[in-house]
Amino acid sequence: MKKQFIKVVLSCAVVAGSITSCKKSSSSKDVSRATGWKINAKEGGFQHNSDFKEQVTAPGLVFIEGGTFTKGKVQDDVMHDWNNTPTQQHVQSFYMDETEVTNKMYLQFLDYLKSVYPPEDPKYANIYKGALPDTLVWRNRLGFNETMTNNYLRHPGYAEYPVVGVNWVQATQFAEWRTDRVNELMLEKEGYLNKEAKYKALNGEAAGTFSTEAYLNRPESVYGGQIDSLQGKAKKNDSVPSFAKRSSGVILPEYRLPTETEWEYAAQANQGSREYNNYRGRKKYPWEGDYTRNGQRVGRGDQLANFKQGKGDYGGIAGWSDDGADITNAVMSYKPNDLGLYDMAGNVSEWVADVYRPIVDDEISDFNYYRGNIYMKTAIGEDGKVNVLRDSVVYDTLPNGKIVAVNLPGEIKMVAVDEEETYLRTNFSSSDNRGYRDGEPGSTRFYDRFNEADGDEENKISMYNSPTNKIERDSAGNFVRNYDKSNYRTSLINDEVRVYKGGSWRDRAFWLDPAQRRYLPQYMATDDIGFRCAMSRVGSKSKTKNKTARGKKVK
């Protein structure tokens, strides 16, 4: 009897052990649950970053957990623009710059361009020039502002002040440059590049520079083809240098301008008013309360943002400066909102990514709403490989005559998606979607499908037909500016007009409401519009994975 009992116990132990071992092997991160094969085997086969936990917070950014909110909800509408009708939207988690991009940050961008693409070289002359902010925005016909014209960008006294005079195109180019520099650093930290690599282009020791997309698609083309000599040793296999891929989890998503929906969500910072699964009350500004002055004991009565308090009053009387500034002010001069973001009201207004339309079409999308999608793909050369613009520079002339570089040497050439990607699709049918559903018969009283405007297709009556001023070069290379003198124009809106958000040092308190929105052509710059960058979140919605929706820890 005793022997039989021992046999039963041993057999149970064997069965339990086999079940446990099966469970361990099936749940192991190094064994495929699809095939049972080993993952990351030394012999080869499928390689995967099984140790990835979550996205690293990139330099300068703050994590913003996504959620639902009411976009366009304002308490005052004295302008009667009817362009911010409230709509319920959901935003995915993302990251946003803690502060506006400063003069010092932008000067680093200019210094890099000047070092890598010397302006004295004729083929590079317009790269640096095209990135320069317009310092003449400070001039006023009846105001003396020459001090700012000459000093605001470069003087160390303004180093931590937000950069201005930057148009929307230049802001997006700064974000692209920043993406490449940060990913160089990430690759260095993970051992894919050696520590000297990022300085080779700056010091003229490499014939080219680093582009994230070029590295991912044609790594052998990076640094002018000298990548082999600049590689580090990947951590998992110190004997063989290797290239990182998207699947490595090392390459960060791109820095970019935030969408209008993201910017407004981050500015409202309703998370500070959350009570379980609801928001408590309404916020008129990025801070609590209906007033612009500090109600706390310390600093009571001081303004909570930098804005224009009244006609001829930009900062109060001498000795009692309400907001501590007359023009812009250094970033972090005022308290952050509940998400830790500074100057989401006041100081400077900020460019966002969206093309402006007065109507938000939430019937089509109430998830990550954004108007401005132009879908592109990598160009493939005759050799079947991704086309890298190794030595050439592609320029574009803006309507105001400013020349900007669209593609820099070493970058991937991009082309619009065609029928190969759009055929029989239901979610998109063309590359350019900026004007989607904004001019059909139901959206405008001016629409007339049979009106040809005396045969002139350009002057055809439509919903958004702003003036089309053109600039060309004559045979001698001089600019010829052609102003649109048509009598048929009924709007200032087109596909190159972008939204900017937030009040500035020039604005009254009305514009400090995060839901207020304005627009300006993307090639224009002013002394009161700056920008900050954002980055998409890859992976989980929240960083608090160990908590349930009700805040209870999971055992």
Joined tokens for residue 342 = 């500074």
Q: For strands 316-317 and 278-279, give the pairing.
A: unpaired
Residue range 118-127, pLDDT digits in tens? 999 988 989 9
Q: Which has the higher per-residue pLDDT, 202 or 320?
A: 202
Task: Write the CA distances from 453 to 364, 461, 471, 484, integer angstroms.
Answer: 31, 7, 24, 16
Instruction: Give the mean model confidence (pLDDT) for residues 418-434.
Output: 93
Torsion, Cα of 320, 323, 329, 333 (10° steps):
110
Best CA proximity match to 183, nearest among 358, 59, 274: 59
Q: Number of helices and strands (H, E) in the chain?
A: 10, 21
Are 464 and 439 contacting, i.e. CB atoms less than 8 angstroms apart?
yes
Give dist(CA 513, CA 503) in Å, integer.
8
Question: Is it the case that residue 344 has pLDDT exceeding 70?
Answer: yes
Residue range 22-31, pLDDT digits in tens? 444 444 678 9
- 230 SS3 class: helix
Are 475 and 414 contacting, i.e. CB atoms less than 8 angstroms apart?
no
Lowest mean pLDDT among 129-138, 167-176, 266-275, 335-344: 266-275
Joined tokens for residue 319 = 């000795």
Best CA proximity match to 494, nearest among 429, 435, 416, 430: 435
Residues of the chain with CATH 3.90.1580.10: 59-191+243-369+496-534
Residue range 68-118, pLDDT digits in tens? 999 987 777 777 777 888 899 999 999 999 999 999 999 999 999 999 999
Q: Which has the higher per-residue pLDDT, 386 or 98?
A: 98
Predicted confidence at residue 5, as pLDDT, reads: 53
Lowest mean pLDDT among 75-84, 334-343, 411-420: 75-84
Predicted confidence at residue 431, as pLDDT, reads: 94
Predicted confidence at residue 26, as pLDDT, reads: 41
Share of the chain above pLDDT 70, in %: 86
Are 501 and 264 contacting, i.e. CB atoms less than 8 angstroms apart?
yes
* Eight-state DSSP code of residue 163: P
Instruction: Give the mean model confidence (pLDDT) for residues 36-47.
Output: 87
Map tokens 């929906």 to a residue. Answer: 261
Question: Is it the case that residue 544 has pLDDT exceeding 50?
Answer: yes
Predicted confidence at residue 161, as pLDDT, reads: 98
Q: Which has the higher per-residue pLDDT, 501 or 24?
A: 501
Are 64 and 93 contacting, i.e. CB atoms less than 8 angstroms apart?
yes
Residue range 394-411, pLDDT digits in tens? 888 888 888 899 888 889
pLDDT averaged over the chain? 85
Residue range 446-455, pLDDT digits in tens? 545 444 444 4
pLDDT tier, 432 (very low <50, low <70, confident <90, very high otherwise): very high
pLDDT tier, 478 (very low <50, low <70, confident <90, very high otherwise): confident
218-232, 359-373, 494-508: which has the highest mean pLDDT? Answer: 494-508
Q: Which has the higher per-residue pLDDT, 503 or 554?
A: 503
Which residues does residue 479 pair with via DSSP β-bridges, in sequence order? 473
* Eight-state DSSP code of residue 136: G
Predicted confidence at residue 27, as pLDDT, reads: 45
Which CATH number is correct for 59-191+243-369+496-534, 3.90.1580.10, 3.40.50.1700, 3.40.1360.10, 3.40.50.1220?
A: 3.90.1580.10
Instruction: Give the mean model confidence (pLDDT) for residues 448-472.
Output: 63
Residue range 201-215, pLDDT digits in tens? 888 887 788 999 999
